[in-house]
Structure formats: structure tokens, C-alpha cells
A and B are shown apart, each in its own frame.
Chain A
Amino acid sequence: MRRTKLTNDDVETKLRAYQIHADVKEGKRELIEQLKTMMPVQQESHAAVLKKLIHQSVVELLTRHKLQWIVLIALLYFGFSASLHMKDERIFSLFLSPLPLFYLGWHVIKTNDDGMRELEATYKYNFQQLLFARVVTLFALSMATYTGIFGGVLLLHSSLSLTQNFLLIVQGLTPILLIYAIFLKMSIQYRGRSSWSTLFLIWSCFTIFSIYMNESIFFFHMKSASYILLNIVLLALIMYQWIKIWRMERISYDSF
């Protein structure tokens, strides 16, 4: 028996013949009632929404677990101070700098976990808006904590020139930006706590390499200008990821 060759039109006809006849009246009625409870819908600008959510995220991240924060800050202070007495000041600062990111990142990942879906359905704002506010706050707090503490340590204890101190801070930003960029990529794709373990693993590998390979590691041979360049590239990547999160469910209509 020979097979008859189907054309695209035949396929289309067969596809279109498949119609769904489900009874959705009840579901529709329930939905309308549910949505009516969300009315009236007030117009809010993106900036107003963002400001409100970022403020909320800052409060969430800073006011809870105060003791851990104090321990972390003390650890960073002593760690950075100790790094100044090492042969190469960068060894400690390079792997200590992402600590605030890991600490705060864990809380962000926890709140974005899959188990939160039910709860999110009751929130006023979308998951995308909440995620965006959280990741922006995480970034700002991690950067501020690192630069604040390390900058303070350098000002108080460093015998290096101002330019050298500045370059040291810039170099310490690289691991933060690198890990944060990976964190963002993961936040877009996954909603599980395991992504934090992956980040932690990357950072641990980096730390172990730094300790055991010491100055032979590529990172320590890079010139300051390369760090600045790498940071700019990473920043651009981070901005791109932010836009992606913010527009997760938005369409740029003009290109239709």
C-alpha cells in the first residue's frame, strides 16, 4: 500500500478540524467575580511601582537577620584589614568581596522559590516586578557594603596611594559583577534554591584556585585596565539582564 503525500493545506485542514468544546461558563463567572474584587485599578507609573518595591525589598533584606548582618560586616572588616598585610592585597579582597552578595542573594532566592507561587497570586504586583526590585536592591546593597567597608579599611589602614586604593576596589568589584551576572541569568531561567548552590560552587572553586594557585592564577596577572574593561562589559550585561526581567511580559509594540 502506498502512502498518500499530505500537503501543507491538508495538514492545516486537519489541524483546524480539531476544536475544543469545553464547558468554561462556570470558570469564566468565577474569574469575573474574583477580578472584580481587584477593582478599581489605579494607574501607577513604572517609577512609582519600582520605588515602592525597592523600598520594600531594602526593608526586607536589611531589617531581618540583623545579627547575621553584624557578623558579616565584622568578618568583612577583619578580612579586608588582613588582606592589606598579605604579599598581594588582592588575594583576600577578590574572594571576600562577593560575601554580601551571597548572604543577601540567599534571601532573594528563598523568596523567589517555586513554593511561593501560591502566595504570589495574592500579591498586588507581578512576579517580574517583585523579582526586578529584589535583584536591583541586592546589587545596590552588595556593592555598597563592599565598597563602604573595603573603602573604609583602605582609608584607615592602607599605606598605598589614592589611585592604588581605587584600583584595588575596582578589582574587587569584578567577582561581584561576575557572580551577579550569573545569578541574574539563573533568576530568569530557574526558580529553585539549587541555583544558589551552583553560585556558591563557582565562588568556592574560584577561592580554592586563588589559595592553592596563588599568584599563578590568571586573575592576578591581569592589568588594572583589564579589570576596568571587564567590569564595564559585565555592567552592560547586567543592565541587559535587568531590562529582560523588567520586560518579561511586556512587548515592544512599535516593532510589530
Chain B
Amino acid sequence: MADADLIQSIQSGDEAALEILIHRYYDEIFQYIYRIKGGNEEAKDITQDVFMSMMKALPSYKEQGYFKAWLYKIAHNRCMNSFRNQNREVYITSEEQVEDFTKVYVEQAFIQEILDSLPQMQRSAIILKYYHGFTAKEIARITGVSTPTAKSRLFQGLRKLRKALQKGEFDSEAYKTDK
């Protein structure tokens, strides 16, 4: 069932359509927020907030084929608001660290750390492109900037990521050699 049909069904009170829509988008919106904000509980709260906002906007929403981008725009705005209004929480809690400290986890934490080191807007652009498959033009719409600005953020972000990854690899190789 296409998004447009789901929206129409929800607007006319179909609860099953609502469930399908949530199952379709919850995970990816949660992951987008998680990668930007870094905290599990906070990501859950913001995801909840995003869908509540979506629901409130549905009565006056006119579907034109880009529901997904609209949903991401709400998510992006919520994340940016959250950055403005509170200090960032530590992205790995001690409990999480104890839970699983495998090599994969360390690598993933390293990627999250590198993502966190990027400026918010560059991070958002990179995540939207590489994890959610949006084009520069779509990213520009979601983040409310011009396409050249979105492209520039992607370029700058990618350059910083490459540098950080290279440095990280170099450091870990040097560490192995020392041992």
C-alpha cells in the first residue's frame, strides 16, 4: 500500500493503516535520530514526538507523493530543537558499554564518535545521504537550505570523516605495532 493511500485511510479513521505506517517508518526515523543525537532513550522520545506531530498535522496534510521527506523534515527540526535546548548527553551509557564490548561494537562506537564530531548540519546531511539514501536536493528540502549549501555540507562532512577515519586507522595500526 502506498503512503498516499495509507494517509488517506488514516485520515478517514483506519487504525490498521496507522499501524502499517508506524511499522514502515518508525525504525528508520528512530535510527536517523539515534545517529544524530546518540542516545537510545532520547532517540525514542524524539521519535515519539515526531509521530505525534505528524498525527497533529495530518488533518490539514495534502499528500503529494513526498510524505517520507516531510516526516524526515519534522525529525530533523525536532533534533535541531533538541540541540538548541539542552546539552548533549553522553552517547554511550556505562550500562551499554558493559553490555557488549566486542570489536564490532568498538568500531561502531568509533563511527558514532566521528559522526558526533561533525557540526550538526553536516552530520545531518551525511546521515540522510548515506543511511537513508536521500539526494542532495531532497536533503536541502528537509534541512531547509539551498541545494548548493546541502552539497557543500556533504562535501565538507565527507572530507572531515575521511580525515578522522584515516587518523583513527593510523592510530590503531600504530597501537598494534607498538604492542
Contact = CB atoms under 8 A, between A and B. Distances in A.
B13 A39 contact: yes
A253 B70 CA distance: 9
B58 interface: yes
A119 interface: no
B114 to A, nearest CB: 9
Contacts of A24: 26-27, 30, 44, 47
Interface string B135-172: 00110011000000000000000100110011001100
B40 A22 contact: yes
Contact of A11 (B12, B84, B161): B161
B22 interface: yes
18 contacts: A1-B177, A11-B165, A12-B130, A14-B111, A15-B131, A22-B34, A27-B48, A35-B51, A38-B55, A43-B11, A124-B56, A249-B57, A251-B141, A252-B141, A253-B64, A253-B66, A256-B137, A256-B141
Interface string B34-65: 11000010011001110111011111100011
Determine the interface band of chain A, counting residues with CB < 8 A from chain B. Answer: 35 or more
Contacts of B18: 32, 35-36, 39
B79 interface: no
Contacts of A34: 48, 52
A3 B51 CA distance: 45
A250 interface: yes
B77 A22 contact: no
Nearest to B18: A35
Nearest to A244: B144
Contact of A18 (B52, B57, B112, B166): B112
Contacts of B73: 249, 251
A124 B60 CA distance: 12
A38 B10 CA distance: 11
Interface of A: 1, 3-6, 8, 10-12, 14-20, 22, 24, 27-28, 30-32, 34-36, 38-46, 49, 114, 121, 123-126, 190-191, 248-256
A108 B53 CA distance: 21
B125 interface: no
A5 B56 contact: no
A17 B76 CA distance: 23
B85 interface: yes
Contacts of A41: 10-11, 13, 55, 58-59
Contact of A20 (B35, B53, B66): B35
A248 B74 CA distance: 9
Nearest to A23: B40
State the majority secondary structure of interface residues on B. helix
Contact of A15 (B23, B60, B77, B161): B161
B165 to A, nearest CB: 6
A165 to B, nearest CB: 43
A49 B73 CA distance: 22
A31 B51 contact: yes
A251 B139 CA distance: 11
Given A27-B47, A34-B48, 11 more contacts: A17-B111, A18-B107, A18-B108, A20-B35, A24-B26, A28-B22, A40-B13, A41-B13, A43-B11, A126-B56, A256-B69
B126 interface: yes
A35 B55 contact: yes
A40 B11 CA distance: 7
Nearest to B138: A256
A104 to B, nearest CB: 25
A24 B29 CA distance: 11
